Amino acid sequence: MAENEILTDNDEALDAFTNNYQRPSENPCGLYLISPPEIDEHFVERLKKAFDGGDVSAFQLRLKGLNEHAIARLAEPLQKVCADRDVAFIVNDSVSLAKRLGADGVHLGQGDGDAAEARVILGPSAQIGVTCHNSRHLAMIAGEKGADYVAFGAFYPTTSKDVRYYARPEILSWWATLFELPSVAIGGITTENVAPIVKAGADFVAVCAGIWKAKEGEDKAVAHFNTVLDQAVKGEIA
Ligand SMILES: Cc1ncc(COP(=O)(O)OP(=O)(O)O)c(N)n1
Ligand SMILES: Cc1nc(C(=O)O)sc1CCOP(=O)(O)O
Ligand SMILES: [Mg+2]
């Protein structure tokens, strides 16, 4: 086995995230954590603390500006924690890094490669997500290419990325009406503004600053999101 190659048996996490996904009738909405753009080796304690706060469906390692060796070194303990907690471990941008790590999946932006090619490399059980911005057309192409989820955004202004596209909740409703493939909503999502996104039919919300920059701490932020997502699903908040 190559250095840094970790093979995990994280099947429960895969089923809970987008493998074998069937949209439940009461449409719950899962929480998908995006890592801070920069982390060090102590971040693993913050990740555990976040998971202590409540349900998390997936964690994406999104580190910009580091080479793959550096990301692989940081990834190893995080991937183990995800496997222990049945949280899908998704690598951003790089199919080769996802393959090297034996990650549960990869997230591909429009410039990060082709979902069908990623499938050939990563195999049938890999979770492949594709950024679709605010485009119905891109989402349908992603679905045709075998993506496991389509990501729409940004829904709100964000400090975590320079975004060029903004999406409106209507695209989530349109998608949920026509397709079984799960959608992920991303961009500036907080406990204060998530309700309309849930109401529109997002299957998952992806959150970075709303967790890692929360004054209350990452565990309470995850707990707060769980509460609010549940209330929004039940129509108790709008
Ligand atoms: C869940 C999710 N959705 C969208 C993105 C953005 O991907 P991309 O457009 O490739 O931008 P970067 O994240 O690579 O800066 C994402 N990472 N995750
Ligand atoms: C990584 C990313 N992609 C986006 C998109 O619109 O495609 S918005 C975004 C940043 C998400 O972080 P936060 O929850 O802090 O806004
Ligand atoms: Mg990308």
Q: What is the pLDDT of residue 3?
A: 40
Give the residue, by CA position, lying nearest to ligand 1 atom 8: 109
CA distance 120 to 86: 25
pLDDT digits (tens, 9 = 90+) for 117-146: 999 999 999 999 999 999 999 999 999 999
pLDDT digits (tens, 9 = 90+) for 75-125: 999 999 999 999 999 999 999 999 999 999 999 999 999 999 999 999 999
pLDDT digits (tens, 9 = 90+) for 151-173: 999 999 999 999 999 999 999 99
- Domain holding 187, by residue range, is 11-233
Residue 1: inside a domain: no
pLDDT band, residue 25 (cuts 50/70/90): low
Asked if the model's pLDDT at residue 10 lies above 60, the reply is: yes
Residue 136: inside a domain: yes
How far from each other are the two terminal CA atoms of the chain, in whole angstroms?
A: 50
Residue 202: inside a domain: yes
CATH number of the domain where residue 118 is located: 3.20.20.70
**In 10 A of CB 55, how many CB atoms?**
18
**Ligand 2 proximity of 210 Cβ (cutoff 6 Å):** yes
Give the residue, by CA position, lying nearest to ligand 1 atom 10: 109
Q: What is the pLDDT of residue 122?
A: 98
Q: Which of 90, 131, 189 to mutate to test the pocket of ligand 1 (most atoms within 8 A of CB)?
A: 131
Structure token pair of residue 74? 């940081």
Ligand-binding annotation for 66, yes or no, is no
Q: Which of 161, 162, 168, 218 to mutate to test the pocket of ligand 2 (most atoms within 8 A of CB)?
A: 161
Residue 180: inside a domain: yes
Ligand-binding annotation for 161, yes or no, is yes
Give the residue, by CA position, lying nearest to ligand 2 atom 7: 153
Residue 141: inside a domain: yes
Residue 172: inside a domain: yes
Taking the centre of ligand 1 as the mean of its atom positions, its distance from the CA of residue 230, in whole angstroms, is: 25
CA distance 139 to 88: 22
Q: What is the radius of gyration, based on Cα positions, of the chain? A: 16
**Ligand 2 proximity of 142 Cβ (cutoff 6 Å):** no
ipTM of the complex in this document: 0.99
**pTM attached to this predicted model:** 0.92
Q: What is the pLDDT of residue 14?
A: 63
Q: Which of 189, 208, 218, 222 to mutate to test the pocket of ligand 2 (most atoms within 8 A of CB)?
A: 208
CA distance 8 to 154: 32
Q: Kindly tell me the number of DSSP H helices and DSSP E strands found in the chain.
A: 10, 8
Q: What is the pLDDT of residue 12?
A: 65
| Alpha helix ranges (H) inside the chain | 11-16, 43-52, 68-84, 95-101, 115-122, 136-144, 170-178, 195-200, 209-212, 218-233
Taking the centre of ligand 3 as the mean of its atom positions, its distance from the CA of residue 106, in whole angstroms, is: 10
**In 10 A of CB 128, how many CB atoms?**
25
Question: CA separation (Å) from 238 to 124, 191, 228?
Answer: 38, 11, 10
CA distance 222 to 55: 8
pLDDT digits (tens, 9 = 90+) for 36-80: 999 999 999 999 999 999 999 999 999 999 999 999 999 999 999
CA distance 200 to 134: 14
Give the residue, by CA position, lying nearest to ligand 1 atom 2: 151
CA distance 154 to 98: 24
Ligand-binding annotation for 104, yes or no, is no
Structure token pair of residue 117? 């090619």
The predicted model gives 10-20 an average pLDDT of 71
pLDDT digits (tens, 9 = 90+) for 200-238: 999 999 999 999 999 999 999 999 999 999 999 898 998
Residue 5: inside a domain: no
pLDDT band, residue 5 (cuts 50/70/90): very low
Domain count, the chain: 1
Q: What is the pLDDT of residue 2?
A: 43
Q: Given the CA of residue 93, which atom of ligand 1 is nearest to it?
A: 14
pLDDT band, residue 26 (cuts 50/70/90): low
Residue 238: inside a domain: no
> Is 153 in a helix, a strand, or coil?
strand
Give the residue, by CA position, lying nearest to ligand 1 atom 11: 109
Q: Name the residue with tokens 């349900």.
A: 55
